[in-house]
Structure 1
Amino acid sequence: MMSKSRATLLAAGITACVAGVAIAQTTPANSTSPLNLPSEVTVFGTRMPDVVKATAIVNGEVITQTDINQRLAFLLIASQRPPQGEELERLRQQVFSNLIDETLQIQAAKTAEIEITDAEIDRTVARVAGNVKQTPEQMAEYLKARGSSIRTVRRQIEGEIAWRRLQSAKIESGSSVGEDEVKAVLDRLEASKGTQEYRVGEIFLPATSATMQQAQANAAQLVQQIRQGGSFVAYARQYSEASTAAVGGDLGWVRPEQLPEPIANAMRQMNPGQISSPIPVPGGVSIIAVQDVRKILTADPRNAVLTLKQVSINFPAGTSRQTAEPIVARFAQAARNIGGCGGAEKMAAEFKAEVVEADDVKLRELPPVLQQMMIGMQIGQATQPIGSLDEGVRVLVLCGRDEADPSMPTYDQVFAQMNEERVNLRARRYLRDLRRDAVIDFR
């Protein structure tokens, strides 16, 4: 890489050469004559990225095409089958809309004197990188190699923190739930004992009567991407305009009657793991994902809380299946004869494996295949081996099980859920007002 001083000297030399040629020039003068440009131009180096072209100016703050491209690339990293053509263009427009909303949220937080420090963002970036077993520097290189950047991640983190704190300051403080309302919910719960409730995620796209058709088309594209392997949580964070976007769209455990009727009707027809088609609702379009189902106030073995030990073996890169299969077979035999939770370390020593202990693991939150294995297991037994040659093969040893008590939720728990629902509605209205009052110059 050329040093700054050498680059300065080289520039000075080029300037002197241009000046010498200009004196001898005999062609008619024009506005470019002082530059003495050659008739045949050779371009050196790579083209400067398009970082200054404004796509929109939101209350004086520029959103460039580069901002859109990098955020779109960041979103598509999680997509196993990237969209093409018109579908990609629709996603690009949605990203553009999200960046405008994100800018409005950050600006509103600054107006409210809510400070978000670089140190806070650094900590979140480090945590995100740690989740994928990378340093922030490694993650930055990973993103850059895929057309994104660490800058777009930092901007999204800033937007999420700003919006969360803005809601706390401007919305939550004005939301109130009455004691009679909470008691009415508790009474209904008691009356509905044994009926089903659902763990649900939601992606909400706002729309007016004029934009409803486009919103439904955008939602249909999102559904297609998720059904082809995209992450619902990632898409909810990026596209949803409900206040739950920051937590991946998670609504928690809800009963159908707590939700708008169109969503409730769709939810009753769904099984865990399914994604709904776009659902028109007042004010927009929703997509819901049913993650789990349980019966209200009824004992369920999947509510158990477990103590586990995980024994895992890793294979060197490039290990063939033919080489690995005999080792996995011996590993499976050792797991069947592990001799209780205390045998995990002996097994690990035999296979040069790693042991990880985990307490307070909710059976319901394990992958479905593990749930099915572990429901009927006795203390001291191990699962069959699971995993892959790339990510390692492991078994889980059941060291303890505490059955959960299917008791009534407390007053405070019901109050918190009702308050969240009201905050969600007020947040949508607040963002709508920010859009309405913004000065946005599209370029």
Structure 2
Amino acid sequence: MNVKTKLSDCLRPLLLGALLLGNATLSTTTTAEVRPLDRVVAIVDNDVIMQSQLDQRLHEVQQTIAKRGAALPPEHVLSQQVLERLIIENIQLQIGERSGIRITDEELNQAIGTIAQRNGMTVEQFRAALAQDGLSFADARDQVRREMIISRVRQRRVAERIQVTDQEVQNFLASDLGKMQLSEEFRLANILIPVPDGAPSDTIQAAERQAQDLYQQLRQGADFAQLAIARSASETALEGGDMGWRKAAQLPPPFDSMISALSVGEETEPMRTPGGFIILKLLDKRGGGTQVRDEVHVRHILIKPSEIRSEEETRRLAERLYERIKSGEDFAELAKSFSEDPGSALNGGDLNWIDPNALVPEFREVMANTASGEISKPFKSPYGWHVLQVLGRRATDSSEQFREQQAMNLLRNRKYDEELQAWLRQIRDEAYVEVKL
């Protein structure tokens, strides 16, 4: 088992972040060997990216590609792709810093514990496995912290402003495409040749020629993952373009209908999208038959930081409420008095039966690890500090409500993908970036 890969799998679709290595020093002996000092390879707004960061990330990416059995592109090509990924990550981390996003040690420990549990290990076993894989525990914690910050930045800047109306859901459910999408799922990879907003016609034509050239190479047997790593501008380029499992409804037209006609292993022709020209490959598909989902009956108390209550004070209040519940006070009465979730507070914090996939990852993870009838310790999500109690679990067949929730999730994911790519281009264009390679 490759623990580095598992770390990346457990969190957001980002590769693991690289650490700033200590500068090399000159020996003070008379027979000193001169060692090159670390150097700046890019200036990004108020921060820099060092050669050591680029080298470490490049090494990790090369290892990951090699373990997938894919051919490596030339190092200078891969290096440019990796540097661009580091630049985008750095911009997001600076946004997080300016927005006051902080990951506490408690949250980090909780995340590390979850990762270890997903790998079937204790934290100590996980630490030993990291060491065997050539990664220190301190490095791993810092990488997870960075990924958590980036995830929260995206939640605030992208996910929270996406809205899906009830009418959009009903229109989707009534469509032939909607009926089909509730029964089948596709694993996709993509190659994106970008086109800047407002680009002149010659720039658009040049991008289209690049995309057509890549498509012809694919038809002649070229490796999709290798071309994606070397040429794609997509967020998933360094993963060989692998986007994971998607419904066609998550894809911008006309790909939603084109994917259904593909056989596994086939690619679409290049198509124009708002971000440029994109080629999709169908890696696998699954689904069909009766849909069964797990539901959890859960209630919670939400406490939010505010201008008059600091993060630390909020955490302490959540802990006091937890202790009061454990001492025998009524959960529902405390929720009515203290919870700041307007949708559930008056109901004693009761969220009723709910699909775990409809919840934010932090809430879902704690809920999954809490036994029926048990109360969780206080934990943090993007919304604030929670205490939850699991009241029951059940498996249920698909219902109209479930179909509507599926449709809502699919439409939100489609809008999120489009909005995220547009937002990443925007922050990249607005940032001051000076590459010194």
Report what 1:64 is aligned to: 50
- Counterpart CA distance in 2 for 1:425 and 1:201 is 16
Gaps of 5+ in 2: 1-26, 196-203, 295-393
Pair 1:276–1:124, CA change in 2 (3 A): farther
Pair 1:164–1:305, CA change in 2 (3 A): closer
Task: Find the partner of 2:82 among 95, 98, 115.
Answer: 95
Pair 1:73–1:207, CA change in 2 (3 A): same
Pair 1:407–1:116, CA change in 2 (3 A): same
Report what 1:340 is aligned to: none
Matched, 1:178 2:165: yes
- Counterpart CA distance in 2 for 1:263 and 1:191 is 10
Report what 1:141 is aligned to: 131
Larger radius of gyration: 1
Pair 1:430–1:64, CA change in 2 (3 A): same
For 1:283-302, what per-residue CA distance to the aligned partner results, in whole angstroms no more than 9, with x for missing partners? 1434444432444xxx35xx
Pair 1:404–1:207, CA change in 2 (3 A): same
Output aligned runs, 1:370-385, within 5 Å.
none
Task: Find the partner of 1:116 among 98, 103, 107.
Answer: 103
Task: Find the partner of 1:436 among 416, 429, 437.
Answer: 429
Pair 1:415–1:192, CA change in 2 (3 A): closer
1:421 Cα offset (Å): 1.7
Gaps of 5+ in 1: 1-13, 16-36, 307-401
- Counterpart CA distance in 2 for 1:406 and 1:141 is 45
1:104 Cα offset (Å): 0.8
Q: Does the residue aligned with 1:249 lie in a helix, a strand or coil?
A: strand
Q: Does the residue aligned with 2:175 lie in a helix, a strand or coil?
A: helix
Cα RMSD over matched residues? 4.6
Pair 1:431–1:154, CA change in 2 (3 A): farther
- Counterpart CA distance in 1 for 2:166 and 2:76 is 49
For 1:243-293, what per-residue CA distance to the aligned partner results, in whole angstroms no more than 9, with x for missing partners? xx9xx733533359x54325642552223xx36478454214344444324
1:64 Cα offset (Å): 1.7
1:70 touches 1:152 (CA, 8 Å); kept in 2? no
Q: Does the residue aligned with 1:77 lie in a helix, a strand or coil?
A: helix
Q: Does the residue aligned with 2:284 lie in a helix, a strand or coil?
A: strand
- Counterpart CA distance in 1 for 2:178 and 2:128 is 54
Report what 2:63 is aligned to: 77
Percent of aligned positions with the same letter in both sequences?
A: 18
Matched, 1:253 2:253: no
Pair 1:74–1:149, CA change in 2 (3 A): farther
The letter for the 2-side match of 1:438 is A
Pair 1:173–1:192, CA change in 2 (3 A): closer
Task: Find the partner of 2:407 among 395, 407, 414.
Answer: 414
- Counterpart CA distance in 1 for 2:46 and 2:420 is 24
1:403 Cα offset (Å): 10
Q: Does the residue aligned with 1:113 lie in a helix, a strand or coil?
A: coil
1:66 Cα offset (Å): 1.8
Output aligned runs, 1:347-426, within 5 Å.
405=397, 408=400, 409-426=402-419
2:177 touches 2:257 (CA, 8 Å); kept in 1? no
Task: Find the partner of 2:144 among 145, 157, 181.
Answer: 157
2:249 touches 2:411 (CA, 8 Å); kept in 1? no
Matched residue count: 285
Task: Find the partner of 1:291 among 281, 284, 294.
Answer: 284
